Structure 1
Amino acid sequence: MVEFKLPDVGEGMHEGEIVKVLVRTGESVQQDQPLLEVQTDKVNAELSAPVTGVIREIFIVEGETVEVGTTLLVIDAGTEPKKEEEKLPEKVANTEKTVNFAPVRTDHRRSLATPYVRQLAREMKLDIELVTGTGAAGRVTEEDLRQFANRMQNSVPAQFPATAASHGRHLEASAAAVETTQLQPKTETVTRVATSSQGDIQRLPLKGIRKKIAEHMVKSVTIIPHVTSVDELEMDQLRALRERLKPHADKRNIKLTFLPFFIKALVIALKEFPMLNASIDDSTNEILLKRFYNIGIATDTPEGLIVPVIKDADHKSIFQLAEEINQLARLAREGKLTMEHITGGTFTISNVGPIGGLQATPIINHPEVAIISLHKMEKRWVVREDEGVIRWMMNLSLSFDHRLIDGVTAVRFTNRIKELLEDPNLLFAEMV
């Protein structure tokens, strides 16, 4: 009997909410077949069977929150002889001598990989046990899968795909089992209706992403003394530049918004004002000055606000940033973000301009020390050289941690961002 316990699928994860139970007691399952869907810190993780066997007991129900290490179900692995397909790694190893394929595992230990990466391997029709992991402790990453697939495509002779396909039969069977399970009726959210002196009140459970957001916001405002500074930005020249670049972006099938320009200006300013790219280690009373620039993009999704992170934004072009922003937004809306996508941020941008609003007091994404909010763009009467003119204007709201950042520093920081964006020629001249 194998006790399947809730693993730590994210950085510092302590608990998870059971979103879906994909199997039933008495059901036969294959190794790597999805068993459960768990809601962790703003992402859904699919947990797969570690062995082939039969589900004997299920100890959890949908909607329940359990701690890491809790036994979720028991699988009877049995003593069935191994199927012929499981001997295929030897055949692939022989093939490797002629096609320069990736090293094959011969120790029969299961590869380390997150549930998301295992799911991706199934979708790509790859045997994850043949992939060499480059992550921590040899963990197989998403990039490892893609490189493995590229090597297969570029190196394997024409007759090899048939062998690879037969090697992946158990993966296709697992996928089919998932599709069958997903056809079953979903468990609806339980609500209660109570009657008060003013009328009926519907009670909804605080759960899932909304619960995680609530917990994170309370932690942030409890620890960080927030101060917000508001300024305005003239957008005419940046609008003109974007219009000139849009045809080039369209040729690459890239949706070009204003956000990539803000990110580039932000990175330049962060390098000049390093305290805004820092964090405080409360356990040691140390300031952590970060020499990397990972920019979080607050994204509205049907499930709530999620902040995917663009890593090493200072090393990416305007077009690269635009492409990654669109990709992360799509993954967020589809609920396909992984912990890798939402961790490691050093500064966050919240762009509420397309919705509206003149200004706000955005809450800092702890443990970061600042967040900037972009508001709606509109034509306003402004005074330039003692004359009233019409300009495209936008407000910026910067919330900062007053333990680390003084008001003067915050205003100088936003002034630098304004300077770069109001004159895009200067922005491009300052880019590294």
Structure 2
Amino acid sequence: MAAYQFKLPDVGEGIHEGEIVKLFVKAGDKIEEFAPFAEIQTDKAVVEIPSPVTGTVKEVKVEEGEIAIVHSVIAVIDAEGDVADQEEDQTTTEEPASAEPVKEEKTEAKEDNKTAKTETTSNKKQKVLAMPSTRKLARELGVVITQVTATGEHGRITADDVKKFAEGGSTKSAEADEVKLLTEKTSSADVAVEHEITGTEERLPLRGIRRTIAKRMIESKRTAAHVTIMDEVDATELVAIRKWAKPVALERNTKLTYLPFIMKAVIAALRQFPTLNASIDDEKQEIVLKNYYHIGMATATDKGLMVPVLRDADRKSIFDLADEITDKAVRGRDMKLEASELKGSTFTISNIGGYGAQFFTPILNHPEVAILGVGTIKEKPVVYEGEIVARPQLFLSLTVDHRLVDGDVAALFLSQVKRLIESPNLLMMEMR
């Protein structure tokens, strides 16, 4: 038997950490090689991590809900047979994993010394444990992260630590003392208000897909310059052509919705306005124009929003798109999509028409520069050929990244989508 240090593997796509969603084993359990050890939530999807060896779990170093860093030790397994000791990972910039038990006192002493020397070694490069989002926040606030005192688990610097430091919370500045004095003066009033609150509260941990959604939405809003334009579309012909095609679709067991038609109209318009099928490489300061059409489809699940991708949607028929939309929507709600099915989109469509909403302001699926929000189809009185009549209206909301897409281009794009939806027979002329 050999003690095998099981390190969180690199699952690719530049992911440096993951949340432990579920553990399948505990200390003392036997486990086979390739058997499920844990599920982790990355920025892309929930990924199952298998055991690399057969043996008995000696120690599990992580808990459900904890953020684990790639290459950090998450378990120790008494492996059967000869297993070479893992080499220390020299590529990570984070603090090393927890030390051996016999070295705990020395490790604590070193940490104390490091803290004591923080003020005198501010210009010296130090290794710190912090999430990428926390490091980014520090850069935005002009904070040298090595000077921040960590309060998180295992010495992790949290976003609150950075904010407090930026506000002078870790110094004895006059401003900090003034804030403290003001807080003390108002504390009694705060308590009085607090006593007036009635009812109960329930607090739930921000974990899994919901935490990923929150992180990505904030990243999108901070990075891109969001602008949303809206329009109404006469959907009379769209409703008619879907009604005409439904019996044919049923013969091939296809659930035909309006979305495949809208998707085809979007692709045709993207060919005419390629800057909406692009992204911005912020690091290299380059515009990336994409000559392929991978359409993301925002899908609601019990755990939050997911965006499965329909690859090469321009090469597929209306019926093919309808089948794929149904398949990925079902598997998305059942959390059975592969990570590869949730990445690489060039343009996203968010359809909330089924909930009765009309207009909304969709948030960009970063790093994409455009997203189309599709509202409900609703009969409204409109002026048609000089008379007021009731006709079905479809509501569209287009959000673009104004850094790349100007307002006139966005308006022309949406007008082209509108034209193709109002005259779906024109889509035949756009087929390739």
Same fold per superposition (TM over 0.5) = yes
The answer to whether the 8 Å contact 2:294/2:345 transfers is yes
Q: For residue 198 of structure 1, what is the aligned residue in structure 2?
A: 197
In structure 2, how many angstroms separate the alpha carbons of the residues matched to 1:31 and 1:309? 32
Q: For residue 336 of structure 1, what is the aligned residue in structure 2?
A: 336
In structure 2, how many angstroms separate the alpha carbons of the residues matched to 1:26 and 1:406? 61
Give the C-alpha shift of residue 11 in structure 1: 1.3
Give the C-alpha shift of residue 196 in structure 1: 5.6
In structure 2, how many angstroms separate the alpha carbons of the residues matched to 1:247 and 1:6? 51
The answer to whether the 8 Å contact 1:362/1:399 transfers is yes
The answer to whether the 8 Å contact 2:358/2:395 transfers is yes
The answer to whether the 8 Å contact 1:11/1:339 transfers is no
Q: What amino acid does structure 2 have at the position aligned with 1:44?
A: V
Q: For residue 38 of structure 2, what is the aligned residue in structure 1?
A: 36
Q: CA 1:317–1:237 in 2, change beyond 3 Å: closer, same or farther?
A: same
Q: For residue 347 of structure 1, what is the aligned residue in structure 2?
A: 347
Q: For residue 209 of structure 1, what is the aligned residue in structure 2?
A: 209
Give the C-alpha shift of residue 289 in structure 1: 0.4
- Name structure 1 gaps, 5 residues minimum: 81-194
In structure 1, how many angstroms separate the alpha carbons of the residues matched to 2:287 and 2:306? 26
Corresponding position: 1:361 with 2:361: yes
Give the C-alpha shift of residue 202 in structure 1: 2.5
The answer to whether the 8 Å contact 2:47/2:339 transfers is no
Q: Secondary structure at the match of 1:270?
A: helix
Equivalent of 1:64, from 58, 63, 66?
A: 66
In structure 2, how many angstroms separate the alpha carbons of the residues matched to 1:24 and 1:401? 47
Corresponding position: 1:420 with 2:420: yes
Q: For residue 394 of structure 2, what is the aligned residue in structure 1?
A: 394
In structure 2, how many angstroms separate the alpha carbons of the residues matched to 1:282 and 1:196? 49
Give deviations 1:16-59, integer Å, cap 9, x for gaps.
11111111222221111111111122522111111211111111
Give the C-alpha shift of residue 304 in structure 1: 0.6
The answer to whether the 8 Å contact 2:57/2:78 transfers is yes
In structure 1, how many angstroms separate the alpha carbons of the residues matched to 2:26 and 2:260? 47
Q: For residue 268 of structure 1, what is the aligned residue in structure 2?
A: 268
Q: What amino acid does structure 2 have at the position aligned with 1:20?
A: K
Q: For residue 227 of structure 2, what is the aligned residue in structure 1?
A: 227
In structure 2, how many angstroms separate the alpha carbons of the residues matched to 1:307 and 1:79? 43
**Please, what is the CA RMSD of the aligned residues?**
1.5
Give deviations 1:274-306, integer Å, cap 9, x for gaps.
000011111121110000111000001000111
- Name structure 2 gaps, 5 residues minimum: 83-193
In structure 2, how many angstroms separate the alpha carbons of the residues matched to 1:299 and 1:14? 26
In structure 1, how many angstroms separate the alpha carbons of the residues matched to 2:391 and 2:330? 33
Q: For residue 17 of structure 2, what is the aligned residue in structure 1?
A: 15
Give the C-alpha shift of residue 309 in structure 1: 0.7
Give the C-alpha shift of residue 207 in structure 1: 1.3
The answer to whether the 8 Å contact 1:279/1:289 transfers is yes
The answer to whether the 8 Å contact 1:14/1:68 transfers is yes
Q: For residue 54 of structure 2, what is the aligned residue in structure 1?
A: 52
Q: Secondary structure at the match of 1:46?
A: strand
Q: For residue 168 of structure 1, what is the aligned residue in structure 2?
A: none
The answer to whether the 8 Å contact 2:20/2:38 transfers is yes
Corresponding position: 1:76 with 2:75: no
Q: For residue 372 of structure 2, what is the aligned residue in structure 1?
A: 372
In structure 2, how many angstroms separate the alpha carbons of the residues matched to 1:248 and 1:74? 58
Q: CA 1:367–1:58 in 2, change beyond 3 Å: closer, same or farther?
A: same
The answer to whether the 8 Å contact 2:57/2:75 transfers is yes
Give the C-alpha shift of residue 378 in structure 1: 0.7
Could you tell which deviates more after superposition, 321-330 or 45-54? Answer: 45-54
Q: TM-score, normalised by structure 2?
A: 0.72
Q: Secondary structure at the match of 1:201?
A: coil
Q: Secondary structure at the match of 2:248?
A: helix
Pair member with larger Rg:
2
Q: For residue 288 of structure 1, what is the aligned residue in structure 2?
A: 288
The answer to whether the 8 Å contact 1:10/1:339 transfers is no
Give the C-alpha shift of residue 337 in structure 1: 1.6
Q: Secondary structure at the match of 1:424?
A: coil
Give deviations 1:350-384, integer Å, cap 9, x for gaps.
00001012211111111000111011111111112
Q: For residue 302 of structure 1, what is the aligned residue in structure 2?
A: 302
The answer to whether the 8 Å contact 2:18/2:42 transfers is yes
Counterparts of 1:317-328 in structure 2, within 5 Å, are 317-328=317-328
Deviating above 4 A after TM superposition, structure 1's stretches of 4 or more consecutive aligned residues are none
In structure 2, how many angstroms separate the alpha carbons of the residues matched to 1:331 and 1:5? 30
Q: TM-score, normalised by structure 1?
A: 0.72
In structure 2, how many angstroms separate the alpha carbons of the residues matched to 1:63 and 1:261? 41
The answer to whether the 8 Å contact 1:15/1:66 transfers is yes
Give the C-alpha shift of residue 10 in structure 1: 4.2
In structure 1, how many angstroms separate the alpha carbons of the residues matched to 2:12 and 2:243? 41
Give the C-alpha shift of residue 324 in structure 1: 0.7
Q: Secondary structure at the match of 2:421?
A: helix
Give deviations 1:193-232, integer Å, cap 9, x for gaps.
xx86413333222111111111101111111111110001
The answer to whether the 8 Å contact 2:46/2:339 transfers is no
In structure 1, how many angstroms separate the alpha carbons of the residues matched to 2:301 and 2:332? 7
The answer to whether the 8 Å contact 1:347/1:371 transfers is yes
Give the C-alpha shift of residue 245 in structure 1: 1.2
Q: Secondary structure at the match of 1:354?
A: helix
Q: What amino acid does structure 1 have at the position aligned with 2:365?
A: N
Q: Secondary structure at the match of 2:345?
A: coil
